[in-house]
A and B are shown apart, each in its own frame.
Chain A
Amino acid sequence: MKKKLYLILIFIFLIIIMINISAFAHKVNIFAYVEEGKIYTESYFSDGKKCIESKIEVFDNQGNKLLEGLTDKEGAFSFEIPPGDGDLKLVLTASMGHRAEYIIQADELGNIKGLIEEKIEEPVSAVSPEVSSFDLKEIQSLIEDALDEKLKPIMREMREIKKSQEDRISPTEIIGGIGYIVGIFGIVAYFLSRKK
């Protein structure tokens, strides 16, 4: 009877853990994306709580600090894309020794700028001489605006997917971890038993 009670308690405990797995973790995440010439970042603990007033530092690919700032109440922080090319590294330092990094690839930053420059060189040999480079620029920016507008929901969706992939702790990992522990202490037990 006592044994049964014991087993039931363990079982209940396991179920409680399993139900809550997806939401429970303990680290900070920083997430960044580029939109209309600005970089937006979101910082949150992996249970979804926002990091308030946490420091964010931005480094270039040589490791020089470009700027720093604090997150607001929503865990957000945004800044203009700093000049220069190369990857940017964002470092989040939250309270109590939590830290996370996010790298924005150079092509993600530069695609808008790059596109315009490429297209401007063409018009000289273009079909109609009346279309000045100024017009092309305008068309270009119009197209870009429209594209941005259309792509926004898709980009948002992709960000969500990327985020959820980063955060999730799967039951496989948990059970695997427990398996490792059993294995490691099995090895310890083996060596201890040989000593005797």
Chain B
Amino acid sequence: MHISEGILSAPVLLAGAALTATAVGYSLKKMEHKEVPKVAILSSVFFVASLIHVPLGPTSVHLILNGIIGVLLGWSAFPAILVALALQGVLFQFGGITTLGVNTFNMAFPAIICFYLFNRGVKGENNFIALMMAFVCGFLAVLLSGTMVAVALVFTGEPFMQVAKLVLIAHLPVMILEGVLTVFCIGFLRKVRPEILDI
């Protein structure tokens, strides 16, 4: 999911950077003092998750976990993912500095969509429905991120259907895996630390 340097055209890079900067600015303004440790922890989770590789599909894929990050953090997902991606770029050479804006947006925007769609759902009374919501949340976040990567690549001239198909097929195992992981996380948090979910 990390788009490397030197692939995207300048307008795409600039648009990504601008959108990310705006969203990060907004979320930092909105962020509350007591939220910060939670953001830091989930940022670390995102940072490490990309090292967990899923040995399936035609290319190399890894965990992203932006669904769970989105549902737990809301708008704060933007700074969390930005920081983690910047460090991945510097320390592991994943992605790159010029593509930081685009990559952050590709992963954090679906996180926020998931926040609005599922935040209520995963807190619900009914345990089963909440866990189903969690699965769809983890699944959908990766699906959306993959679609956005495909869209970003289309602007540099690659045919959309081809890229989209490739991204989606490659990430199907990850989507399912992330769905299951999100179910476990939410289930666990509901039982042990409901205050993280603000129940």
Contact = CB atoms under 8 A, between A and B. Distances in A.
Contact of A24 (B44, B53, B87, B163): B53
Interface size class of A (residues with CB under 8 A): 35 or more
A24 B83 contact: no
A185 B50 contact: no
A181 B33 contact: no
Contacts of B60: 26, 45-47, 49
B52 A24 contact: yes
Given A174-B51, A180-B87, A26 B62 contact: yes
A181 B59 contact: no
Interface size class of B (residues with CB under 8 A): 35 or more
Nearest to A29: B93
Contacts of B193: 6
Contacts of A181: 40, 43-44, 47, 83-84, 87
A124 interface: no
A82 interface: no
A168 to B, nearest CB: 10
Nearest to B166: A95
A192 B51 contact: no
Contacts of B87: 177, 180-181
Nearest to B3: A97
A27 B7 contact: no
Interface string B3-36: 1111110000000000000000000100111001
Nearest to A17: B48
A1 to B, nearest CB: 11
A100 B4 contact: yes
Nearest to A20: B52
Contacts of A46: 60
A182 B44 contact: yes
15 contacts: A24-B53, A24-B62, A46-B60, A95-B59, A97-B7, A99-B6, A169-B51, A174-B48, A177-B47, A177-B87, A181-B83, A188-B31, A189-B33, A192-B32, A196-B33
Interface of A: 2, 5-6, 9, 17, 20-21, 23-28, 45-47, 49, 52, 91, 93-101, 169, 173-174, 176-178, 180-182, 184-186, 188-189, 192-193, 196
Interface of B: 1-8, 28, 31-33, 36-37, 39-40, 43-44, 47-48, 50-53, 55, 58-62, 79, 83-84, 87-88, 91-94, 149, 152-153, 163, 166-167, 170, 188, 192-193
Given A28-B4, A95-B163, 16 more contacts: A6-B193, A23-B53, A27-B2, A49-B60, A93-B7, A95-B58, A95-B59, A96-B59, A97-B8, A174-B48, A174-B91, A180-B83, A182-B44, A185-B36, A185-B37, A185-B83
